[in-house]
Amino acid sequence: MPSIGAIKICIFATGVALLIACTPSGPLAPPGQITLSYSGGSDSSYFFVLDNRSAQTIYLRGTSGLWSGVIPSDRVMSCTGGTSAETEADNSSSSGLFGIKVSPENRLRLTVAKNAVTARHKGGECYVQLLQKNNAMISSNKFAP
């Protein structure tokens, strides 16, 4: 049976590994800017990096889970082209608390689930908009679903 000390070291090492895995890498946005950049996807989700190089703290509604990551709830996914001739938007909103906080000079990886709208626009392009606590929108770069 492992000792208490060995268990504590294992838990600490796991925590450090998770923090490193959740911290996005890559070039920072220019000073004073807030950017939301598409950074890839999986079978079920798209990933974005919210880079806050401004002097203000960003507050968003959403949830954070150990396995799911940070999921913003007040967002709009807009898509055009691909197999659908229409421009469509998928809105998601919540009346919950603004539980996601991105302080100045910090960045955060966000997860947005794939859905029927993005499926109809394979070969086209999409972008995501996030609603902040101050009602300002943050728009991502366009990406191919």
Encode pLDDT of 29-86 as tens digits.
555 799 999 999 999 999 999 999 999 999 999 888 777 789 998 999 999 998 887 8
Type of residue found at 54: S
pLDDT of residue 64: 83
CA dist 13 to 37, 64, 68, 71, 128, Å?
29, 21, 20, 25, 34
- Considering the domain boundaries, does residue 71 fall inside one? yes
Flag whether 16 is in a domain: no
Domain range for 112 is: 28-139
Q: How many CA atoms lie within 13 A of 120 on its CB side?
A: 14
Cβ–Cβ under 8 Å, residues 121 and 80 = yes
Residue 127: which CATH number?
2.60.40
CA distance readout (Å), 51 to 13, 70, 80, 117, 119: 26, 14, 25, 26, 27
Which of 22-31, 81-90, 124-133 is most confident? Answer: 124-133
As for how many domains the chain has, the answer is 1
Q: Could you give the 3-state DSSP secondary structure of residue 16?
A: helix
Task: State both tokens at 136.
Answer: 């300002």
Asked whether residue 144 is domain-assigned, the answer is no
Domain assignment present for residue 107? The answer is yes
For residues 115-144, one letter each, b for 16 or more C-beta atoms within 10 angstroms of the residue's C-beta and e for the rest, the string is eebbebbeebebbbbbbbeeeeebebeebe
Residue range 16-32: average pLDDT? Answer: 50
